[in-house]
Structure 1
């Protein structure tokens, strides 16, 4: 690998002590795991790798991934747990027991004030087909690909209101660069 990093103030070369570090997962808290698991497994085709329960603290963790045909997921529970924590791009859904029974309960989505967390993102092979699939499944949009200044980028909401960006990578090759009519 020859690419190291885009230069920018504050960027430093990765120290050797971080060799082997892997960004494994992002965690979202969910009100109702049945609803959220149904959404992520059906709408986004993810697979539940592991569920871990912590009765003494009254919560459960659900680790989901979008697997490839070449992924070799161990069947044995302990091996699968270890394998799960060695992967990239895992989504962890955390359920605090009892929230599903509270009608007015909701987590902060990070996009209302005060803003914080923004979104997760799925890259898709065909944005038009993905939008049709999302429409067919009644997914709520924040922004459709043709809306706003950033074209070819969609944002939808999951059952808890978290935003999910949808992109077709090659359509965004020039994202963040001035268009020819804006060049100086």
Structure 2
């Protein structure tokens, strides 16, 4: 889904597109579609934080459990194949499928160190 510039911040919406042409939709149609569907992840980029020397970053919640944001998860059809692709793209891992007792999941790290859990899609449509 496309980004939406809101002035001091930009919103990015990640979702399955189901073949829709969002560029051809009016802003009202995009908003209706965006918020009436499954699995939308909204990311916010606050302009200026990347060049602010005093910006200490956001609390991930992973270093201090129970506080702040923890992590997001995404479902994939095949965890092993997805992890092989992440590996080929140079993505850093927190946990690979073969690590630990939970063999059917993985955790990758985004560029800021936030955890993204990779889980199998149990319901294939």
TM-score range, shorter chain: 0.7 to 0.9
Q: How does 1:26-175 map to 2 (within 5 A)?
A: 48-53=1-6, 55=7, 58-69=8-19, 73=22, 75-102=25-52, 105-116=56-67, 117-170=69-122
Relative to the length of structure 2, the TM-score reads 0.80
- How many angstroms apart in 1 are the aligned matches of 2:88 and 2:72? 21
TM-score by length of 1: 0.57
Larger Rg: 1
- Aligned counterparts of 1:126 and 1:165: Cα–Cα separation in 2: 13
Separation (CA, whole Å) in 2 of partners of 1:128 and 1:155:
12
Where in structure 1 do 4 or more consecutive aligned residues deviate above 6 Å? Answer: none
Unaligned runs of 5+ in 1: 1-47, 171-184
| Structure 2 CA distance for aligned equivalents of residues 114 and 154 of structure 1 | 19
Per-residue CA deviations over 1:90-140 (Å, capped at 9, x if unaligned) read 111112110111366422111111533322111111122101110011111
- List alignment gaps of at least 5 residues for structure 2: none
Question: Are the counterparts in 2 of residues 156 and 164 from structure 1 also a CA contact under 8 Å?
Answer: yes
The answer as to whether partners of 2:10 and 2:47 remain within 8 angstroms in 1 is yes
Deviation at 1:166, TM superposition (A): 0.7
- Structure 1 residues 145, 134: closer, same or farther in 2, change over 3 A? same
Give the count of matched residue pairs: 119
